[in-house]
Structure 1
Amino acid sequence: MELANGVAAYAVTLITYLGLWWFGIFNPTIVYDHLGEIFSALIFGSFIFCIFLYIKGLVAPSSTDSGSSGNIIIDFYWGMELYPRIGKNFDIKVFTNCRFGMMSWAVLAVTYGIKQYETYGRVSDSMLINMILMLVYVTKFFWWEAGYWNTMDIAHDRAGFYICWGCLVWVPSVYTSPGMYLVNHPVNLGVQLAVYILVSGILSIFINYDCDRQRQEFRRTNGKALVWGKAPSKIHATYTTTSGETKSSLLLMSGWWGLSRHFHYVPEILAAFFWTLPALFNHFLPYFYVVFLTILLFDRAKRDDERCRSKYGKYWKLYCEKVPYRIIPGIY
């Protein structure tokens, strides 16, 4: 397990960035004014980086978890290694996913707010709500960083174009796009609507966090933690590893995880919707990320189900009978 020092690194990054602006050493509006050049450099540079990852996995893999499918396109897209490293301490996925991807999200959210302030002499309530919710979400991510090591991104998806290019390019450009739109399209929400959106967004982020916390605590206590004040319903599953070793695992069927097999995606999509909603419905562009995220998470839930079905067999079939809905309770 990696040292989860994300909160400290995140705090230092934001404080330094805001401090440089506050004391007039660096003006973040320069970043906004050169977004085209920055994103172009990221697109090209990250593509070269992914080629490097492919070659490294081919000739100098970091561990035995590397391997080829026999198809160069698939290997480049999905990756050759699960945990590629440079040297002993530089974890490439931690850098792309956490240090660059998530921190650039927060830095750009702040940048858009500063740019609007520098342009109009004030920050609109719509921009403020967008910025607060994005920063709360990213802060939640770093607070929960240790739990992230068990997610599909880290534990199962290899470091290839899909993950690394996505975190180096797609996250800073697309994930921040609602704020980017609001810079030159400020909306006056009024206090009442702004508070409704803010509270709904924070509640969604909290539920998303609580879903992950609930499962993490369940695993940490080997199924003995109370879930919503009661002993949890669970399935004792066994599976065989690729090396032929038999292991056991617990599948949680209580709390949020009793509502659907991937219920945590519901508040995540809602959170994205609520930090986009300050733009109201004046243009489709801010909502592209919400649509993309929904497609991404529905596909991820399907892939995760297929992986679990292959891993747990009859136990997963029983789990699906007990928790029949994949994402949206009562619907899907």
Structure 2
Amino acid sequence: MAETKMVHSPIVTYISMICLLTLCPPFVILLWYTMVHADGSISQALGYLRRHGLPGFINIWPKPTAIAWKMIACYAAFEAVLQLFLPGKRVEGPISPAGNRPVYKANGVAAYAVTLITYLSLWWFGVFNPSVVYDHLGEIFSALIFGSFIFCIFLYIKGHVAPSSSDSGSCGNIIIDFYWGMELYPRIGKNFDIKVFTNCRFGMMSWAVLAITYCIKQVDTPTYPLTSFTGKGKNFVEQMASAWFGGKASSKIVASYTTKGETKTSLLLTSGWWGLSRHFHYVPEILAAFFWTVPTLFNHYEANGRVADSMLVNTILMLVYITKFFWWEDGYWNTMDIAHDRAGFYICWGCLVWVPSVYTSPGMYLVNHPVNLGTQLAIYILVAGILCIYINYDCDRQRQEFRRTNGKCLVWGKAPSKIVASYTTKGETKTSLLLTSGWWGLSRHFHYVPEILAAFFWTVPTLFNHFLPYFYVVFLTILLFDRVFFAVSSLLLCSMGNIGNYIARRSLTGLYLESSETSVWLNPPSTLICLAYARPLEGDIGL
């Protein structure tokens, strides 16, 4: 690529890149140290660093050990074999800016099932104790930091000397080339897609594996201080009822029916929980049965150990989310991560190191800080989290089905409304359909709302004694806000013209979208822009 356009100003872009390259690795170690050895307290960790300075930080940075490298190598090799040899349907990705269409084998669900069944079986039959992973977690993260950095150097060299397709090239700046990547679809051989491996098979799969690991480690800890959730004033059910009904009269249906020749009436409640479905009360009843059954899976292994309901909620919600991801994996291959982001430090190091460490951090915290939520609160959090994950999935499903059928489908039982968007990229005018009904009629990127809320719900079992478990929620919010701004900014850089009947233009303080019907002013907070990922821009953008 001869020229690299940037969403943010060059100074912000370069500062962001250098900060991420230099600060993310030590942050991962500090996160692990604080969660595991500093009671989850940022002030305690900072106090240690103030007292001991740089030598103290070097001292807490664990050295990669042979056992850490061995576990990483076995896991990576296992996932690579599954990616290559498990059967799966043929899936084509979107056409790239250079006219290439990548082909994938959709075997993510099978790989996910085989991985978890194998991991749990090794533990169940006493072949391998997952607690060992937690015991060597710092060494594993340290090995991943250095190993992934070397892997990114390999990708940089490969992009120069042996690119896999014409979707590659240098911008002439070594920092951007290393950070952003040289290739869009790098492969080893014909069938081994590197980004599918780093993003899906290693990164997302490690999230599930570590979530289970933390749960098992808590079981293997015979004694630990257990924090109980206690409400003040009204009991929790009364508080929920008050919040749910909001002090308003309930809605109802007056039903009349005839039995034995006699007409009778009955009131049917249609608000609160009964507004969700006619027999919604069966859902928490089934989940309650699940809750008192699941601990038996863990308690067989360590008679003195136990798993707190907070850890169960955290683990179940994470596994539901990751299951949703692999179920929808072929849709993920059409997203920005795969279809736009090149394979460099930004995406590959992030998936190999940042995902296993940061994304799993609430569970890492709960290992030594279990909370007894109580059955009611645990079920409420679990149901709310699952609902958010479902809405997030349904948002993506609506858009995917809309684009697959070229808009000829039903959205919420009706023909969808849409915008036929035209834009220009690299001198070529293209069109794209934008869904504006269903979830996508609420806001352009509404699917990010339930995703952030889902992350909150699997974190909130940690309660609020420390901030650090909520770092992922904050990070995710900043990242997704940046993606929304990036999508609109990319529109401006690609076309500077019509998007359907909309006209987009730059201003000094924000973005202004106008049409004959409406106008919208977008002024993202400067702090989000400064903290956001630095993104050079290239190729087609899906809004």
Specify if TM > 0.5: yes
Equivalent position SS for 1:236: strand
1:76 aligns with 2:178: yes
The residue number in structure 1 matching 2:382 is 198
Note if contact 2:207-2:359 (Cα within 8 Å) is conserved in structure 1: yes
Question: 1:249 deviation in Å?
Answer: 1.7
Note if contact 1:279-1:286 (Cα within 8 Å) is conserved in structure 2: yes
Note if contact 1:258-1:323 (Cα within 8 Å) is conserved in structure 2: no
User: TM-score normalised to the size of structure 2?
Assistant: 0.58
Q: Pick one of 226, 229, 245 that aligns with 2:410.
A: 226
Q: Which amino acid letter does the alignment assign opposite residue 143 of structure 1?
A: W
Equivalent position SS for 1:26: coil
> Deviation string for 1:100-137 (max 9, x for gaps)?
00000000000000000111311100000000000000
Note if contact 2:313-2:382 (Cα within 8 Å) is conserved in structure 1: yes
Q: Pick one of 201, 212, 224 that aligns with 1:99.
A: 201
Question: 1:248 deviation in Å?
Answer: 2.5
Equivalent position SS for 1:119: coil
Equivalent position SS for 1:250: strand
Note if contact 1:309-1:317 (Cα within 8 Å) is conserved in structure 2: no
> Deviation string for 1:208-262 (max 9, x for gaps)?
00000000000011001111111111112233453x5543321111111111111
1:265 aligns with 2:448: yes
* Structure 2 Cα separation of the partners of residues 240 and 215 of structure 1: 22
* Structure 2 Cα separation of the partners of residues 284 and 32 of structure 1: 22
* Structure 2 Cα separation of the partners of residues 46 and 53 of structure 1: 10
* Structure 2 Cα separation of the partners of residues 309 and 201 of structure 1: 36
The residue number in structure 2 matching 1:149 is 333
Q: Pick one of 62, 65, 85 that aligns with 2:187.
A: 85
* Structure 1 Cα separation of the partners of residues 163 and 363 of structure 2: 39
* CA pair 311-52 structure 1, distance change in 2 beyond 3 A: same
1:209 aligns with 2:407: no
* Structure 1 Cα separation of the partners of residues 385 and 492 of structure 2: 33
1:301 aligns with 2:484: yes
- Structure having the larger proportion of residues in helix: 1
* Structure 1 Cα separation of the partners of residues 157 and 330 of structure 2: 29
Q: Which amino acid letter does the alignment assign opposite residue 178 of structure 1?
A: P
Equivalent position SS for 1:249: strand
Question: 1:308 deviation in Å?
Answer: 3.0
% same residue: 82
Find the structure with the greater CA-based Rg. Answer: 2
Q: Pick one of 22, 25, 28 that aligns with 2:127.
A: 25
Note if contact 1:260-1:325 (Cα within 8 Å) is conserved in structure 2: no
* CA pair 173-325 structure 1, distance change in 2 beyond 3 A: farther
- Structure having the larger proportion of residues in strand: 2
> Deviation string for 1:259-291 (max 9, x for gaps)?
111111111110000000000101111101111
The residue number in structure 1 matching 2:248 is none
Q: Which amino acid letter does the alignment assign opposite residue 502 of structure 2?
A: L
* Structure 1 Cα separation of the partners of residues 160 and 484 of structure 2: 30
> Deviation string for 1:171-226 (max 9, x for gaps)?
00010000000000000000111011001100110010000000000001100111
Q: Pick one of 149, 161, 173 that aligns with 1:47.
A: 149
The residue number in structure 2 matching 1:167 is 351
* Structure 2 Cα separation of the partners of residues 116 and 201 of structure 1: 22
Note if contact 1:261-1:323 (Cα within 8 Å) is conserved in structure 2: no
1:60 aligns with 2:162: yes
Equivalent position SS for 1:70: coil
Q: Pick one of 211, 215, 239 that aligns with 1:109.
A: 211
Q: Which amino acid letter does the alignment assign opposite residue 164 of structure 1?
A: C
1:276 aligns with 2:276: no
Aligned residues: 327
The residue number in structure 2 matching 1:16 is 118
Unaligned runs of at least 5 residues, structure 2 = 1-91, 93-103, 223-304, 504-512, 525-543
* CA pair 311-218 structure 1, distance change in 2 beyond 3 A: farther
Q: Which amino acid letter does the alignment assign opposite residue 156 of structure 1?
A: H
Equivalent position SS for 2:440: helix
* Structure 2 Cα separation of the partners of residues 137 and 161 of structure 1: 25
Q: Pick one of 333, 348, 364 that aligns with 1:180.
A: 364
Range with greater deviation from structure 2 (245-254 or 225-234) = 245-254
The residue number in structure 2 matching 1:255 is 438
Equivalent position SS for 1:64: coil
Q: Which amino acid letter does the alignment assign opposite residue 108 of structure 2?
A: G
Note if contact 1:261-1:325 (Cα within 8 Å) is conserved in structure 2: no
User: TM-score normalised to the size of structure 1?
Assistant: 0.94
Q: Which amino acid letter does the alignment assign opposite residue 285 of structure 1?
A: L
* Structure 2 Cα separation of the partners of residues 108 and 13 of structure 1: 12
* Structure 2 Cα separation of the partners of residues 283 and 317 of structure 1: 48
* Structure 2 Cα separation of the partners of residues 273 and 232 of structure 1: 31
Q: Pick one of 318, 341, 351 that aligns with 1:134.
A: 318
Unaligned runs of at least 5 residues, structure 1 = none
* Structure 1 Cα separation of the partners of residues 370 and 173 of structure 2: 48
Over aligned residues, Cα RMSD in angstroms?
Answer: 1.9
* Structure 1 Cα separation of the partners of residues 336 and 519 of structure 2: 20
Q: Which amino acid letter does the alignment assign opposite residue 207 of structure 1?
A: I
1:292 aligns with 2:475: yes
